[in-house]
Amino acid sequence: MRSRSVDLLILGAGVAGVYAALAAETEGARVLLLSKDPLPSGSTPWAQGGVAFPLDDEDLEAHLQDTLRAGRGLVEEGVARSILEEAPRHLERLLAWGLPFHPEPTREGGHSRARVRHLGGDRSGLLLLRGLLARLQSPVREGHLAVSLLVEGKRVAGAWVLGPEGPVEVRAGAVLLATGGFGRLFPVTTNPPGATGDGMALAHRAGAVLRDLEFVQFHPTALPDGALVSEACRGEGAILLNALGERFMPRYDPLGELAPRDAVARAVFRERERTGGVFLDLRPIPRLEERFPTVVASARALGLDPLKEPIPVAPAAHYAMGGVKTDLRGFTGVEGLYAAGEVASTGLHGANRLASNSLLEGLVMGERAARAALESLSSPRAPEALPALTLDPSLLPELRRWMAREAGVVRRREGLEEALAFAEGLPLEEAPPDRATRPALEAGSLALLARLLLRMALLREESRGAHFREDFPREAQEAYHLEAQGFTLSRVPAGV
């Protein structure tokens, strides 16, 4: 097995990983970035809407209030304020680097003002990531899968990696997880195939705290194959219709089509059950093809023509609010281990993410985590690889069916119990890293997250802290985080 050594090893080359690498290399650090998929990889290049930046000081307060409202009492205000306050500096820098942000901000669901900056129509994430990658000097290794973390004592000191030419042991002064979310736990998802929660599973093995995994945001409007129909479409005038041709959102929420995502997703789910289908009418949008080329192309690929008729839509797993708990500098609590982007849970999103706050979080927290990691560097001498968690991947389709039926937009206690019994019965195994293959490792990550997510969802469902339960008045709901360290769950008041 080959071996190499760097200052900072970054797992993941989406917005958080690449922006972190840019920050680290300006400090003169030796950085190595790994991506298990070919570039541009991860959810980042799939992002359509854009990045939410406060427009000015006054709008910072409004942006904060919108974030708090969407997050259902679980956003940590100090965290949100600190991230939003720093946002304008990053926009300025990105503009100075020549990133082609459209000068006119747009409005998305849950935002009280137009403050989302998009690039290239609906190719925001792709153009952002390309712009960042173009500036990067550090090496990025594609097709390199981190299988397990190396530890020395209680400190993370690198990773055991499976590359195209075989295994590589990468020793590092610190490791930054930027591996994205776990949408692939559900059968219909907007996420790319690599969104299997590997970083969360790796962190869990190393003793980090996983938090609030049960808060999965479902995008209310995906095409039947999971292709996203951007929220910005509704921002620009598209309307939702049920199978009877009725516009139904105003009956569910005064904000109508621009209500927060969970409200729209639940309404879409209910109207599909009640009337047999839900459709999005994009025809009210002027210059539709020019403004939303990706949406039009995705619909056409399924034989649909959004210029002529409303297109069928359904909710799809979209964003993991929970993840590896970190502080405001991206530190996980395990020496040598940092996390940023969707893999992390900083407290910004609470129980429900405000649209387009995640790319912003990736930028702000990517840079902070890189800086904090560099301040903590150590020189590993003889680290050992932790075992990998694996599962027979042929068991995944059934797990996904359980997740869709019982742990999707609508959750019931009995259903969650049954799904948990199934997930706990899965033969999850610890394997030496050299025996793990990519499909078995990804299935192992998903099964571990399923168990923890279902336990958290059950606990939440049994309590007054349900957050997504409409039968509870908001003021009667308790705000608390759920944290798992190993398989022990604990309730922690919000803001701690």
Ligand X SMILES: Cc1cc2nc3c(=O)[nH]c(=O)nc-3n(C[C@H](O)[C@H](O)[C@H](O)COP(=O)(O)OP(=O)(O)OC[C@H]3O[C@@H](n4cnc5c(N)ncnc54)[C@H](O)[C@@H]3O)c2cc1C
Which of 339, 416 has the CB closer to ligand X? 339
Q: Is residue 352 involved in binding ligand X (CB under 6 A)?
A: no
**353 contact partners, CB below 8 Å, separation of at least 6:** 70, 71, 217, 261, 319, 321
Cβ proximity to ligand X, 198 vs 281, nearer residue = 198
| Contacting residue, 23, 94, 150, 178, with ligand X by CB under 6 A | 178
Binding to ligand X by CB under 6 A, coded x per residue (else -) over 292-331, reads ---------------------------x------------
Pattern 190-219, ligand X, x by CB under 6 A: xx--x---xx--------------------
Cis peptide bond N-terminal to 40, omega within 30: yes
36 binds ligand X (CB under 6 A): yes
Residue selected from 24, 34, 265, 454 as contacting ligand X according to rule CB under 6 A: 34
Using CB under 6 A as the binding criterion, the count of chain residues that bind ligand X stands at: 43
Smallest distance, Å, CB 98 to ligand X? Answer: 20
Catalytic pick among 171, 261, 371, 455: 261
Does residue 267 belong to the site contacting ligand X (CB under 6 A)?
A: no
Helix (H, G, I), strand (E, B) or coil at 86: helix
Among 20, 23, 125, 126, CA closest to 339: 20
Question: Of the listed pieces 92-100, 351-359, 380-388, 447-455, which binds ligand X according to CB under 6 A?
Answer: 351-359
Nearer to ligand X, 51 or 458 (CB): 51
Where does this chain touch ligand X (CB under 6 A) — which range of 22-30, 265-273, 335-343, 408-416? 335-343
Is residue 362 within 8 Å of residue 181, measured between CB atoms? no
Whether 261 is catalytic? yes
Q: Which is nearer to ligand X, 121 or 336 (CB)?
A: 121
Q: Could you tell me which of 18, 7, 35 has the C-alpha nearest to residue 340? A: 18
Nearer to ligand X, 306 or 323 (CB): 323
Q: Which of 123, 288, 301, 287 is nearest to 227 (CA)?
A: 301
Among 145, 213, 324, 372, binds ligand X (CB under 6 A): 145
Give the whole-angstrom CA distance, residue 184 versus residue 53. Answer: 29
Question: Applying CB under 6 A, which part among 43-51, 67-75, 206-214, 257-265 lies near ligand X?
Answer: 43-51
Q: Does 180 bind ligand X (CB under 6 A)?
A: yes
188 binding ligand X? (CB under 6 A): no
State in angstroms the smallest separation of the CB of 74 from ligand X: 18
- Report the b/e string of 430-448 with b at 16+ CB within 10 A: ebebeebebebbbbbbbbb
Query: Per rule CB under 6 A, is residue 13 in the interface with ligand X?
Result: yes
Nearest distance, CB of residue 220 and ligand X, angstroms: 13
Part in contact with ligand X (CB under 6 A); list of ranges 12-20, 58-66, 210-218, 367-375: 12-20
Look up residue 104 and give its amino acid: E
CB of 356 to ligand X, least distance (A): 4
**From 6, 8, 9, 12, residue interacting with ligand X (rule: CB under 6 A):** 12
User: Pick from 42, 310, 322, 415: which binds ligand X (CB under 6 A)?
Assistant: 42
CB 363 within 8 A of CB 19: yes
Active site residues: 261
Task: Write out the residues near ligand X by the rule CB under 6 A.
Answer: 11-17, 34-37, 41-44, 46-51, 124-125, 144-146, 178-180, 190-191, 194, 198-199, 228, 319, 341-343, 356, 358-359, 362
